[in-house]
Amino acid sequence: MGAKGRTQTLNSTVTCIENMDIVADTPRLIIAKIEKSDTDSLFQLTGDQRVMEYFPKVLNYSETNKMVDEILSQYEKHGYCYWKLLRNNRFDFIGIAGLLHQEIDGNVETEISYRIRPRYWNRGFASEAAQACKEYAEKVLHKSKLISIIHPKNTASKRIATKLGAKQSGTTLFLGMEHELFIY
């Protein structure tokens, strides 16, 4: 975890990703820090109604650009935030996952969060990414408590949280809506 770049051979072509700041990898994913140049990729998520169903609104490109700026700011403040998810065999952009600082009921918590492009739903990528985030938080950051804040109708995310060992622990007001709080 935390390697600076690597080289991958694809169809007899060497593709260099030496400048990518890799946070972790899994059997199918490369998890790397988001860069300003990733705004177009993130807009594939934030501009998609299906991805943003449980968020207050779909973001336009300018709002997505501000989100990327905030992610980069969080890297400076905390060393982590959302990371990009790439398929490790083709480098396709899958989505984002990461650890977020959240204030919940007056307490600062670390949340496991993710957003996956619809074409990659129901393939286990969200579970794989969330598990990698959980392991990073526990092993690298030495976090003993993690949370997930999940909209009550988001059954897929509740299944993932439960699969990774989280237990529902009440509800909280988040983004102006009641959400279920899961604790790992």
Note the pLDDT tens digit of each residue in 115-143.
Answer: 999 999 999 999 999 999 999 999 999 99
Name 10's bridge partners: 13
Cα of 168 vs its chain's centroid, Å: 20
* More confident position, 18 or 138: 138
In a domain, 32, yes or no: yes
Residue 40 tokens read as 């177009």
CB 46 within 8 A of CB 94: no
The angle at the Cα of 179, spanning 178 to 184, to the nearest 5 degrees, equals 155
Domain CATH for 112: 3.40.630.30
In a domain, 127, yes or no: yes
Note the pLDDT tens digit of each residue in 100-109.
Answer: 999 998 899 9
In a domain, 12, yes or no: yes
- Residue 178 neighbours by CB under 8 Å, 6+ apart: 152, 171, 172
Q: How far apart are CA 14 and CA 145, in angstroms?
A: 41
Return the beta strands (E) in 26-158 as ranges.
29-33, 82-87, 93-104, 107-116, 147-150
In a domain, 1, yes or no: no
In a domain, 89, yes or no: yes
For residue 119, count other CB atoms closer than 10 A to its CB: 9
Global pTM value: 0.87
In a domain, 2, yes or no: no
Q: How far apart are CA 54 and CA 134, in angstroms?
A: 22
Out of 18-22, 57-61, 144-148, least confident range: 18-22
Residue 32 tokens read as 């790397």
Q: Is the pLDDT of residue 17 over 70?
A: no
